[in-house]
Amino acid sequence: MDEKDRILLQLLEENARIPLQEMAVMAGLSAPEVEERIRQLQASRVIRKYTTVIDWEKAGEEEVSAIIDLKVTPERDFGYDRIAERISRYRQVKSLRLVTGVYDLQIHITGKTMHDVARFVSEQIAPMDHIRETATHLIMKTYKENGNFFYEREEGERLPLTF
């Protein structure tokens, strides 16, 4: 992977629907070269998936999101990997990370109601082998997700400057 590939990846990460010709100009390549590089990045699984960022609140769909921190006893010979694999299979789990600090794993989940989230944690996650402790944090409002802002400022509105 070279600098041209990095440029293409940054462009795709910003907007996966950017026209091929536009990407070619920005990366200093021909359109067929861009197409071939993207094909290779997909084949090597550097590009994992194309997705859409949706503001479900604006779409009229209410959804509850939560972050669940987990203290986990690692498994001999597997560490955190097998427990993480089991947790990641649930459809409610949007992301799962191994983190530093007081907790070991951090899960981002969604549900239709707060009750759904609570039931998922208490019935699915907390009883699992190797889970020692959970801490659930409800997400009250999302301001930015995957580089996308979820708020709109008035035209010309400026943020205060602080030092």
- Please report the pLDDT score of residue 57 as a whole number: 79
**Nearest alpha-carbon partner for 74 in 113, 27, 131:** 131
- Please report the pLDDT score of residue 22 as a whole number: 94
- Please report the pLDDT score of residue 154 as a whole number: 63
- Is the model's pLDDT at 61 over the cut of 80? yes
Report how far apart the first and last C-alpha atoms of the chain are (Å, whole number): 39
- 28: amino acid identity, one letter: G
Lowest-pLDDT range of 16-25, 95-104, 150-159: 150-159
Q: What sign does the CA torsion over 98, 102, 108, 113 have? A: positive
CATH of domain 3-43: 1.10.10.10
Structure tokens at 145: 């997700």
- Please report the pLDDT score of residue 11 as a whole number: 93
- φ, ψ dihedrals at 65, nearest 5°: -115, 150
- Please report the pLDDT score of residue 144 as a whole number: 87
- Please report the pLDDT score of residue 159 as a whole number: 66
> Please, which residues bridge with residue 111 across strands?
64
CA distance 148 to 124: 31
| Better-scored residue on pLDDT, 55 or 21 | 21
- Please report the pLDDT score of residue 18 as a whole number: 93
Instruction: Tell which CATH classification among 3.40.640.10, 3.30.70.920, 3.40.30.10, 3.40.50.11060 matches the domain 64-141.
Output: 3.30.70.920
- Is the model's pLDDT at 129 over the cut of 80? yes
CB 97 within 8 A of CB 144: no
Q: Where are the domains of the chain?
A: 3-43, 64-141
The tens digit of pLDDT for each residue in 107-126 reads 999 999 999 999 999 999 99
Q: Do domains 3-43 and 64-141 have the same CATH topology?
A: no
- Please report the pLDDT score of residue 156 as a whole number: 63
Query: With bands split at pLDDT 50, 70 and 90, how would you rate the model's confidence at 56?
Result: confident
**Nearest alpha-carbon partner for 67 in 24, 33, 96:** 96
